[in-house]
Amino acid sequence: MTAGTIPKRIGVYDSGVGGLSVAACVRRLLPEAHYFYLSDNLNFPYGIKPDEAVVAFTTKNCKKFIDSYELDVLVIACNTASTVALEAVRIAVKIPVVGVVPAVKPAGQLSTSKSIGLLATPATVKRPYTLKLIEDFANGCSVALQGSSVLVEIAEKKLRSELYSTAAIKAEVDALLGQDPKIDVIVLGCTHFPLLQDELSQLYPKIQWVDSGAAIASRVKSLLPTITPTLKPQRHDAGVAIFTIETAAAHSLSNALIPFGFNITDFLKF
């Protein structure tokens, strides 16, 4: 086997299960690669944590993840982490790092009413990075912002097969639409939210929902030819979902992880 034919090892990082929505898009485009998923369940949820804390967790965990699993490329599949920690991680590691930020640009291009909504975590909607993204790329649209931790928790519950309330999903989106009834496109600016796409589309069939998954997958694909895999002793592990702390909730996710291609559960030891 030559270096070019060794499957690339792609790591996907998030605070919780949200990054699975991105991992699914990347895997669809690059089925041959080997995938590793790290959830920082110890520090979840990031959306209500101070910026400095998110930078510190993300940098430390990503370094350890890359070293432990000999990754070739890392996707920070978390808007809350990417909008504040991307540069710090890029400085700290040697492999290419792709971040996920709210898809404001495509939403601005898609809106016919010129009113769009951004649904993200409470931290992401306040970030200077996000506000600049809106200023530069909203294409003349007005942008209503709604921070929601409730939807993050509901997505986690859904994946653990626990009961969750559709009325609670509706209340969060109604709070956004209440700010501007002309909104015709909503950006899902948190990677947890595409996991609720079926519920959202059913509740609001006229709204167009936009996320960053497909764009991230194309970005990863475009990077792969530039990566020379280090000729390390060949590893055969793949499809591993890793957590930063062993909990009953992490174990209860194992069935939900299988359709995303993660059959093995592991716990990162620092």
For residue 15, state whether it binds ligand DGL (rule: CB under 6 A): yes
For residue 39, state whether it binds ligand DGL (rule: CB under 6 A): no
Nearer to ligand DGL, 183 or 196 (CB): 196
What is the spatial order of strands in the sheet that 240-243 belongs to? Answer: 97-99, 73-76, 9-14, 34-39, 240-243, 264-267
Query: Is residue 141 annotated as part of the catalytic site, yes or no?
Result: no
Query: Segment near ligand DGL (CB under 6 A), from 57-65, 74-82, 228-236, 252-260?
Result: 74-82
Helices 213-223 and 19-29 pack at an angle, to 10 degrees, of 50
Query: Segment near ligand DGL (CB under 6 A), from 12-20, 111-119, 160-168, 196-204?
Result: 12-20
Q: Where are the beta strands (DSSP E) in the chain?
A: 9-14, 34-39, 73-76, 97-99, 115-120, 142-147, 185-188, 208-210, 240-243, 264-267
Report the distance separating Cα 141 and Cα 244, nearest Å: 40
Total chain residues near ligand DGL (CB under 6 A): 17
Pick from 59, 80, 111, 130 the residue near ligand DGL by CB under 6 A: 80
Show contacts with ligand DGL in window 173-192 (CB under 6 A).
190-192
| DSSP code at position 260 | G
Contact pattern for ligand DGL over residues 188 through 227, marking x by CB under 6 A: --xxx-----------------------------------
Query: Segment near ligand DGL (CB under 6 A), from 41-49, 126-134, 173-181, 217-225?
Result: 41-49
Note the residue count of the chain.
270
Show contacts with ligand DGL in window 47-66 (CB under 6 A).
47
Q: For residue 84, what is the enclosing H or E element?
A: helix 79-92
Report the distance separating Cα 19 and Cα 195, nearest Å: 10
Show contacts with ligand DGL in window 99-128 (CB under 6 A).
121, 124
Report the distance separating Cα 82 and Cα 149, nearest Å: 17
Interface contacts to ligand DGL, rule CB under 6 A: 14-16, 18, 44-47, 78-80, 121, 124, 152, 190-192
